Structure 1
Amino acid sequence: MRGFRWASRSAAAALGSGVLVGLHCSARKPVSNPGQGTQGTLHRGHGRWGWGHPSSVECEAAKKKLTVAELLALKGRRQIVLTTAFDEWTARAAEQAGVDMIVAWGSCQEHSKFVVEAVRRGAPNTLIGTGINPGAYESQEKALKLANEMRAAGTDIIYCSGLVPEKFQGLAKQHFPCCGHVGYLPVNDTWLGGPRAVGKTAEEAKKVYEDVMALEAAGCIAVEMECVPAQVAAEISKRTKMLVFSMGSGPDCDGQFIFSEDLMGTNSGHYPRHSITYANLMADAVQALSQYCQDVRRGAYPAAKHCIRMKESEFRRFIESLS
């Protein structure tokens, strides 16, 4: 995947595929809010209370978690939607949006477990794919041990970049659903001469095809295809029984995978050509925090409505108790 970096990154369609099995809508009732007067409304969701607007209506879909068998059955039926999440909030947003699969990982095995546990809390009804860290290369036994640990943390699919077919084969024999990675692999930057498209020559395109077939023979259920020419990706997708997830490899694969930081505008680095951005949450966050800083420094916050009051008689008694 774009930067499977060990050191760091629609409701209608879902209803049509049976992913969303119920829809609960309820109007939010205005209540008194000590911090906002009567401007806010209190609503319940995911075990927490939050504030909204009196005119808003809360519609929450009851999402059914896909099984691996159901995921595989989507090949040729509809596009599968993947994104990343590294925290509970992003995972919850992805699940409520109807994302089919979340990919998550950390900087090491222990960090990956921590990340996956947080993502699972946020998205209890969404498939999670995560990699096993480079220690898996040491031996088949180590790969199985690490995969078991990630499954215990909440992973559904072992999603690895750079793991050779032989290692995948051992995992597949133990009934781990596995997803490989072909095309541009960041771990192979030095061999490729830096980030670039892979498969623009007939020879490279044939190598991508051979890599896909090797992963299929090893027992993988899916493969991410990164930065491969769209027509090459389309032809290979037709020739494999695996699911092919496109990252910059065109519309004719079985699904699309974009990093959440690119989608939401929180990426502080390079936005790849294939990415698409629907929001600018970083700018919104900076604006909100800047306003907070200004309000605190000029005395606008906290205002009287943000403060707890006590009866004057009780306050006098308190003062008398000090003297």
Structure 2
Amino acid sequence: MKITVNTLHKLAAEGQKITMLTCYDASFASLLDEAGVEILLVGDSLGPVMQGIESTLPVSEDEMAYHIRCVARGAKNALILGDMTFGAYQQSPQQAFAHASRLLQAGAHMVKLEGGAYMAETTRFLVERGVPVCSHIGLTPQFVNAFGGYRVQGKSEADAQRILNDAKALAEAGASLIVMECVPAALARQITETVNAPTIGIGAGVDVSGQVLVLHDMLGVYPGKKARFVKNFMHEAGSIQGAVEAYVKAVKAKTFPSEEHTY
């Protein structure tokens, strides 16, 4: 079954969890698609994961379009979500539309942009012109230098209210999905219960519409210290296909993330 924006909203309305994993090439796209992953995120995480650079910031528009084309060749049913790259959409809605258009022409079905309520105007501009948008709030990796590192967001009452207001503004602007990264589970639950867009968590607890992980993290092949929200599904699976299927099953059964993966 071809996954569309309507499919995602239907799953969320029925209380069925949505699964998302990052993907950067045709081979993995085919494997993840076969395992039933609904959304393949061609993320700017390809910088650290695929290119070995320290952050997502240097990833270029050309590189993102290239990887989207690769994934689009391998996926038959999954919705392909492409990351908007740093510096290619923040200047104006018109700049964002030009960038988003290129990613959709490469094969993406939706684009993801980072930022809070101040991105509502850009979100509305894109949606009104036929570009489905996924908003990304909480810990936004493109803001790593402003945050002073990769830190949990929304811990104080004021920060939690700000993130909630961000979610409301972006949903009202027409965002089809909202990704929440590294926020307390209670806040993620409140946002999910408040907005009319499905929510996808990464380090945001189990009470969201779905989950996302970086593929290389959940397979245990990315070096370095793992974030608290990461689980190595390859550890007991015995194969990559088995690990992906175990991830899908765990998300659908609401056994992942467990308390040990939650802030």
TM-score (norm 1): 0.65
Residue 73 of structure 2 is aligned to residue 136 of structure 1: no
- Matched to 1:100, the amino acid is E
Residue 127 of structure 2 is aligned to residue 175 of structure 1: no
1:90: how far off? 1.5
Other-structure match for 1:97: 35
Other-structure match for 2:63: 111
Other-structure match for 2:158: 203
- Matched to 1:204, the amino acid is D
Q: Equivalent residue of 1:135, what SS?
A: coil
Which blocks of at least 5 consecutive residues in structure 1 are unaligned?
Answer: 1-63, 286-323
221-230 vs 268-277, which moves further? 268-277
Q: Kindly indicate which of the two structures has a greater share of residues assigned to strand.
A: 1
Equivalent of 1:73 in 1, 7, 10? 10
Residue 101 of structure 2 is aligned to residue 160 of structure 1: no
Identity %: 27
- Matched to 1:161, the amino acid is E
1:140: how far off? 2.2
Other-structure match for 1:278: 233
1:240: how far off? 0.4
Tell which structure's C-alpha radius of gyration is larger. Answer: 1
Q: C-alpha deviations, 1:248-280, integer Å up to 9, x for none?
A: 100000000111101112212331110111116
1:70: how far off? 1.5
TM-score (norm 2): 0.79
Q: C-alpha deviations, 1:141-165, integer Å up to 9, x for none?
A: 2211221111111101111223722
Other-structure match for 2:253: none
Q: Equivalent residue of 1:103, what SS?
A: strand
Q: Equivalent residue of 1:274, what SS?
A: coil
Supply the distance in 2 between the matched residues of 1:140 and 1:191 (Cα, whole angstroms): 22
Q: Is the 8 A contact 1:182 1:225 kept in 2?
A: yes
Supply the distance in 2 between the matched residues of 1:216 and 1:103 (Cα, whole angstroms): 20
- Matched to 2:64, the amino acid is S
Supply the distance in 2 between the matched residues of 1:249 and 1:224 (Cα, whole angstroms): 9
Which blocks of at least 5 consecutive residues in structure 2 are unaligned?
Answer: 45-58, 241-263
Q: Equivalent residue of 2:94, what SS?
A: helix
Supply the distance in 1 between the matched residues of 2:136 and 2:23 (Cα, whole angstroms): 19
Q: Equivalent residue of 1:246, what SS?
A: strand
Runs of 4+ with >6 A deviation:
none
Supply the distance in 1 between the matched residues of 2:17 and 2:6 (Cα, whole angstroms): 16
Residue 86 of structure 2 is aligned to residue 120 of structure 1: no
Q: Is the 8 A contact 1:105 1:115 kept in 2?
A: no
Q: Kindly indicate which of the two structures has a greater share of residues assigned to helix.
A: 2
Supply the distance in 1 between the matched residues of 2:187 and 2:102 (Cα, whole angstroms): 36
Equivalent of 1:146 in 92, 99, 103? 99
- Matched to 1:72, the amino acid is H
Supply the distance in 2 between the matched residues of 1:186 and 1:270 (Cα, whole angstroms): 16
Residue 194 of structure 2 is aligned to residue 225 of structure 1: no
- Matched to 2:97, the amino acid is L
Supply the distance in 2 between the matched residues of 1:227 and 1:257 (Cα, whole angstroms): 12
Supply the distance in 2 between the matched residues of 1:264 and 1:105 (Cα, whole angstroms): 16
1:101: how far off? 0.2
Q: C-alpha deviations, 1:136-189, integer Å up to 9, x for none?
A: 223322211221111111101111223722211110111211001111112222
- Matched to 2:30, the amino acid is R
Residue 196 of structure 2 is aligned to residue 241 of structure 1: yes
The higher-RCO structure (CA 8 Å, 6+ apart) is 2
1:218: how far off? 1.6
